[in-house]
Amino acid sequence: MKLLLTGNYAAAYAVRDAQPDVISAYPITPQTPIIEKLAEFIDSGELKAKFVRVESEHSAMAALIGAASVGARTYTATSSQGLLYMYEVVWWAAGARLPIVMGLVTRALGPPWNIWSDHADFFTVRSSGWTMLFASSAQEVYDLTLIAYCVAEHRDVLLPALVAWDAFEVSHTYEPVELVEDATRLLPPKGAWAPPLAAEDPASLGNLAYPEEYAETRRLMVEAVRRVPLVFAEAAGRLRELTGRDYSRGYECYRCEDAETVFIAMGSVYGEVRSAVDALRARGVPVGALKVWLYRPFPYEGVARVLDGKKMAIVLSRTTSLGAMGPLATDVATALALKGCSVKLVEFSAGVGGVDVTEDDVVAMYKAALEREGGTYFWRGR
Amino acid sequence: MPETFDVVWLGRGGQGGVTAALILAQAAMSKGYYALAIPFFGAERRGAPVFAYNRLSKSTIYSRARVRAGDVLALLDPSLTGVVDVRSLVKPGGVLVVNSRGSVPGLEGLGRGQYCVDALEIAEELDLKVAGIPLVNMPMVGAVGRVSGLFELHDLLEATKAQIKAMLESNLRAVEEGWRRVEKCRC
């Protein structure tokens, strides 16, 4: 079935199709329409979930930690300051190995106050143990949300997963979205994983761990995160069989094969990058584009394979990283260094705080990158 | 048809421009187009200038950037010509569809032509109002849909049924009247 949906509604439809047991969230622009739509689904009986109303994002995640601890399938969504308010328990969810799924509609962090897209909120949780996915369209929001449940609840992983997408360009833009006929063919059966707590076998979570115990807990998390790419690829493979849409590598390459320069981006700006690649190719300039879907764990090997032998990599970072290269560019640099690749790396901070980035901007970035040294530059637009 | 057929909806908060873009996208999708309806990116404010956009294409649209200028500019409130640089919102080969009885002073020679529909009169005839603001968006859907040359009236009515629940009969009539009454602007 194909529906005209915003990115936020696409998330709500995916959650409906995943049939979680417990949802808890606190409203914040631009996330709120997700939760409004889920409330409608619960009201109409299409979704048989318990909605726990709370007074903050911190409590929303805490409610889900309680629910997931006894085996519930769960969902929450937030943005920006909401994620920062939730931050402490975001780490608790990962450390407790609870397969909670969260939607994150990326929004700039204040000050100054701003409701538009910026990936600063997303990057704040990059080392927390959450599997992190980034969607660049409403269709990808739907698909990756379903995949997030598959990865989170897999017995080899048991870590929370989040799916992010840009405020407004994706969250509020309507586009055709193809739904999966029968999501149960994709998702794991409910109760396929063993929760840490059960009423009949009393225990507690979150006790003091002495250094060796703490280190062992973290080592096990490291092991689990290492298994994510394979589990992700398996789930994406099942989705491909059902729909033909393929996310299994965790990234997409467009016209990369014979490219000398490759743009790297996440989110809605990738559409502009893709158009710019076509425009530059039409003039005989060999460029390609790489879009990251699976951000954590980062696909170092795959990205390095794509970039090996290229002359230049241009990273579009939708955030300002003060005092260092942005996280996405740092990850690309790491991928190159691990493989011993010598590729000029130029990062542009672009689209910060919702600034519109156009195809012409991206073409102009290419020209600017040729003239400049490797490093990070702030793109002020034309 | 160019790579994408773009519509810029410009009205005031409360007039329903965002809903108009949604209905046009719904109609386009049902005809096999890949269709985007992009609302104004910001906090909603009654009475302030509000933009919405459509991008329509026979193939997948990757761009999510704002539409700079339309093949059609749908102007829901002609008084906005003094507030917004309306001329910049129409592609050189584009057209203007304006909610007005006659051509709007200052917009002569804009694009390939100006089409007028008295959407305010239609909304008032049908008593289509929310919080006292006449909903001129639905006659504009009919008018824009017709001027675009991409739709039959039936497509627009079906799209309206798919997206609108409240005052459906009046909304359908409004689309139909907009379709029927739109014409080249008279001086």
CA dihedral B161, B163, B167, B171 (to 10 degrees): -70
**For A244-301, how does the pLDDT look when each residue is reduced to its tens digit (9 = 90+)?**
999 999 999 999 999 999 999 999 999 999 999 999 999 999 999 999 999 999 999 9
Contact across the interface for A359 and B64, Cβ inside 8 Å? no
**For B60-82, how does the pLDDT look when each residue is reduced to its tens digit (9 = 90+)?**
999 999 999 999 999 999 999 98
Cis peptide before A327 (omega within 30 of 0): no
Which of A18-27, A55-64, B109-118 shows the lowest per-residue confidence on average (mean pLDDT)? B109-118
Give the pair of three-digit tokens for residue A232. 């992700």
Walk me through the domains of chain B, giving residue ranges and CATH numbers.
5-184 (3.40.920.10)
pLDDT classification of A382: cutoffs 50, 70, 90: low
Provide the pLDDT for residue B91.
95
Contact across the interface for A271 and B36, Cβ inside 8 Å? no
Provide the pLDDT for residue A381.
76
Give the integer Cα–Cα distance in Å for A344 and A377: 14
Do A14 and A43 lie in a common domain?
Answer: yes
- Are the C-beta atoms of A111 and A76 separated by less than 8 Å? no
Among A271, A274, A354, beta carbon nearest to B41 = A354
From A267, which residue of chain B is nearest by alpha-carbon distance? B64
- The answer to whether residue A327 is domain-embedded is yes
Mean pLDDT of the region A113-129: 97
Residue A308 has pLDDT above 60, yes or no: yes
Among B29, B34, B64, beta carbon nearest to A169 = B64
Provide the pLDDT for residue B44.
66
Number of H helices, E strands in chain B: 5, 9
Among A174, A176, A271, beta carbon nearest to B62 = A271
> How many separate domains does chain A show?
2
Final residue in a domain of this structure, among A196, A215, A243: A243
Do A73 and A204 lie in a common domain?
Answer: yes
Using a CB-CB cut-off of 8 Å, the residues of chain A touching B68 are: 358
Q: How far is A158 from chain B, CA to nearest CA, in Å?
A: 34
Final residue in a domain of this structure, among A186, A208, A243: A243
Q: Which of residues 306-335 of A touch B (CB under 8 A)?
A: none
Is the CA virtual torsion A360, A363, A367, A372 positive or negative? positive
- The answer to whether residue A301 is domain-embedded is yes
Quote ipTM for the complex.
0.95
Residue A222 has pLDDT above 80, yes or no: yes
Provide the pLDDT for residue A21.
98
Q: How far is A4 from chain B, CA to nearest CA, in Å?
A: 7
Do A180 and A218 lie in a common domain?
Answer: yes
- B187 close to A (CB below 8 A): no
Do A260 and A233 lie in a common domain?
Answer: no
Residue A203 has pLDDT above 60, yes or no: yes
Question: Which domain range does residue A140 map to?
Answer: 2-243
Give the pair of three-digit tokens for residue A370. 């040729």
Mean pLDDT of chain B: 93
Provide the pLDDT for residue A239.
98
- The answer to whether residue A249 is domain-embedded is no
User: pTM to 2 decimals?
Assistant: 0.97
Residue B43 has pLDDT above 70, yes or no: no
Contact across the interface for A175 and B36, Cβ inside 8 Å? yes
Contact across the interface for A270 and B62, Cβ inside 8 Å? yes
Final residue in a domain of this structure, among A220, A243, A266: A243
Query: What's the CATH number where A357 sits?
Result: 3.40.50.920
Do A99 and A160 lie in a common domain?
Answer: yes
- B18 close to A (CB below 8 A): no
Query: What's the CATH number where A27 sits?
Result: 3.40.50.970
Instruction: Identify the CA nearest to A331 among candidates A290, A272, A371.
Output: A290
Mean pLDDT of the region B46-71: 94
Do A220 and A293 lie in a common domain?
Answer: no
Mean pLDDT of the region A191-207: 91
Do A267 and A233 lie in a common domain?
Answer: no
pLDDT classification of B107: cutoffs 50, 70, 90: confident
Q: Mutating which of B23, B29, B30, B41 best tests the A interface, going by the most A Cβ atoms within 10 A? A: B41
Among B21, B29, B63, beta carbon nearest to A275 = B63
Residue B5 has pLDDT above 80, yes or no: yes
B32: left (phi > 0), else alpha (psi -120 to 50), else beta?
Answer: left
Do A94 and A137 lie in a common domain?
Answer: yes
- The answer to whether residue A248 is domain-embedded is no
Do A20 and A160 lie in a common domain?
Answer: yes
Contact across the interface for A4 and B34, Cβ inside 8 Å? no
Give the pair of three-digit tokens for residue B109. 């020679």
Do A232 and A267 lie in a common domain?
Answer: no
Do A212 and A71 lie in a common domain?
Answer: yes
Using a CB-CB cut-off of 8 Å, the residues of chain A touching B63 are: 271-272, 275, 359
**For B145-164, how does the pLDDT look when each residue is reduced to its tens digit (9 = 90+)?**
999 999 999 999 999 999 99
Mean pLDDT of the region A47-52: 98
Using a CB-CB cut-off of 8 Å, the residues of chain A touching B37 are: 4, 173-174
- B165 close to A (CB below 8 A): no
Do A219 and A363 lie in a common domain?
Answer: no
pLDDT classification of B1: cutoffs 50, 70, 90: very low
